[in-house]
Structure formats: structure tokens, C-alpha cells
Amino acid sequence: MNGSTGSDLMFPFKMGPFHLSHRVVLAPMTRCRALNTIPQPAHVTYYSQRTTPGGLLITEAVSVGDRGFGFPHSPGIFTDEQIHAWKAVVDAVHARGGIIFCQIWHVGRASHKVYQPNGDSPVSSTSRKISDDWKIQMLGGTLENYSTPRALATSEIKVIVQQFREAARNAMIAGFDGVEIHAGHGYLIDQFMKNKINDRMDEYGGSIENRCRFALEILSAVTEEIGTERTAIRISPVVDHLDALDSDPMALGLYLAAKLNHFGLCYMHLTQPRYNARKVKKEDLPSFHDCHSLMRNAYKGTLMSTGGYTRESGMAAIRNGEADLISYGRLFISNPDLPWRFRLGAVKLNKYDRATFYTHDQVVGYTDYPFLYLEDDKRGRQRSKMISNEGSLCLRSAL
């Protein structure tokens, strides 16, 4: 835990070099609104709507290279045009006093040939495909089975490590405050770490040490490029999304926590399963609480947690010391002023429309959710100023 001045979602927190005014974080969420892999003006609106002074936002997952895509209309950060478009987003967030990290990823085998250059096979730690229990969204909105991947040659792994380094460098050029490496949810890094996926016989397969080698090499490259205080990582040892199973997730999590302690990262983002692939609630998963508790005790830095939290459960997690920060996804999609509503203790929250989560409309389901009070931009800025380091004092004077 880097620094705390209270035990509430709305209390300030010192996260490395950043002074956060509250603990409510915009979670990284794929939204499929980019065009030709380039963020649009709607991205500027979307992220600035959800900005508060001293509040932390994490972008949707952003591909490190042209083979890293697995969703329609998702963005990258490996061309000058992409970097320039992201800079407009960052500038808008900074203009409102916010802090924004770029989540960088590679989907690995969680893709289809239509998303790959020249219709090639996706790459992974393995040549085994994701089971047909899972479906991938195609460009036209239909769902199909994932393509069979090609296992990366050992020599190719260094190329992807370098792509993560360059993506972090590009994020700094765009003005981001830091990057979050996506190492969970069954995507490429997780495909190396989980032994129910990784069947390699080289130095990147077999033991926990070998399976985590790829992730740690990426961390080393990124921290060397931009510094540890601007680097974070997201992991999900217990989550079985996209067949990402491990025979001993607690051992994997504890090994990662011990290794991450040596880096002195800005934060570790731990994903809890709301439901696993078998539709079992997280409260009924015997390894859920054990893994979280063990990792909380083992990891010495700032811990961010996510996974179906409400205002009440988020408050409890902070008060009980289970996490330092809580990231919100669906609630932040439908409530652009979520920190303000949480501060007020507002019972009224906009309901989210899951049908519009992954559409390509630049407005509907993206920037059209109403604010609690007046919706015009000027009033939005006035509300944002009230969620500042003064916190409750500002709120009392407003009421």
C-alpha cells in the first residue's frame, strides 16, 4: 500500500507519484468504437465525460501490433496516426485534471483469421484453439468459433516483447501518464502463464518460472523504457475466461506477486471472477477468497481490484483493506459521473444496456448516458471540480 489518508472509496490515495482524489477507477473495457484501428472524436468525449480531477482512468485494451487484434474496431498504438488520435484523448482528460493509463495488450489465440494480416493464423503459446464453448464477434456482428492458432517459435517471442516496449514508448509520446500491461483474461500473456493452455517444451513452458518468463520479460522491457512508477499490470490467476485454466492458480498468483514486488510497479490490477465459465458465482468459488487474500498479503504495492463491485461492496473492500483502489466497468459505462454519484450516495444509477456495449455507433450506448443533474458540458465541468482533493468539504458546501 503506497499511501492512504482514509478508508473510503471517496478518500484520497497516493499511488506512486500520482495523488488520486478518490479510489473509483474507470476499468479498461473494450468498446469497439475505433475506425481502422484509430480512436475517433467520440473517444475524446467518452473519456473526458468520465474524468474527475485526480481521478484515474484506464483505457480500453490497445493492441501493440497488427497481429494483436481480436475484436472489431478496436484501437492500436503502433502507428503515428494512432498515437496522434490518442493524444487528443489524453489532452482532453488532462484538461479536466484527470490521470489516464493506456492498457496495452496482444490477444494471442483469442482471435480469428479475419483480424490477422493476410488472413494468417493467430499466434499463441500453443497450437491448440479455444474451445467452441466460446465465440468471437465478427466484423458484421455475428459470432463464430475462434481460429486455430500457430504456436510462436522461441525466436519470435522477443519480437513481441519489443512490441510491448514500443507500445509503452508510444503511449508516453501520446502523453499518457502510464501503461497497464494486460496479462489476464486468457489473452496472450495469460496463454503463456496458464498450464492448461501452455504446452510448450522450451524455456517458456513447463514450470511456473518458465511460464511466467514471457510476462516478466515484457515487464522488464516496459519498465526499462518508461520507468516502474508509470508501469502497472493486470492479472487474473483465478479467472477462466477463454479456457484460461491453471491447475494451481494460487501458486501461480503467489509466484507472480513475489516477482512483481521486485519491480516496484505503480499498481497491480487483480481481476476477480464475477462468474466463471461454469456460471458459478465468485462467492461460491473456494479459491476466490483464498487467492485474493493470499495475494493481498503477498503483494507489497498498491492493489487495484475489479469484478462486479457495487458502491457498497467497493466501500467494504477499501475499509477491510482488501484493496486500495476499485475499478468499475459496466457501472461506469452507464454512469459517466459515477464518482459523483458514489460521493452523494446516490441510489439512482443509470441502467446499462449490454446490447450496445460492443456496437460501433459513435454515440448510442457510448456517449449518450445521462448525468445525474444537468447534462451540458459546462455543468459537467462544475461537478467534476467538486470531486477534488477537498472531497467531502466541497460536497458539503455544494449542498
Which of 47, 187, 255, 366 is catalytic? The answer is: 187
204 belongs to the catalytic site: no
Query: Who contacts 7 (Cβ-Cβ below 8 Å, separation ≥6)?
Result: 318, 319, 321
Q: SS3 for the chain, per residue? A: CCCECCCCCCCCEEECCEEECCCEEECCCCCCCCECCECCHHHHHHHHHCCCCCCEEEEEEEECCCCCCCCCCCCECCCHHHHHHHHHHHHHHHHCCCEEEEEEECCCCCCCHHHCHHHCCCEECCCCCCCCCCCEECCCCCEECCCCCEECCHHHHHHHHHHHHHHHHHHHHHCCCEEEEECCCCCHHHHHHCCCCCCCCCCCCCCHHHHCHHHHHHHHHHHHHHCHHHEEEEECCCCCHHHCCCCCHHHHHHHHHHHHHCCCCCEEEEECCCECCCCCEHHHCHHHHHHHHHHHHHCCCCEEEECCCCHHHHHHHHHCCCCCEEEECHHHHHCCCHHHHHHHCCCCCCCCCHHHCCCCCCCCCCCCCCCCCCCCHHHHHHHHHHCCCCCHHHHHHHC
Interatomic CA distance for residues 59 and 74, integer angstroms: 11
Angle between helices 249-261 and 213-226 (to 10 degrees): 30
Query: Who contacts 239 (Cβ-Cβ below 8 Å, separation ≥6)?
Result: 184, 185, 186, 271, 272, 273, 276
Angle between helices 213-226 and 154-174 (to 10 degrees): 30
- Positions annotated as catalytic residues are 187
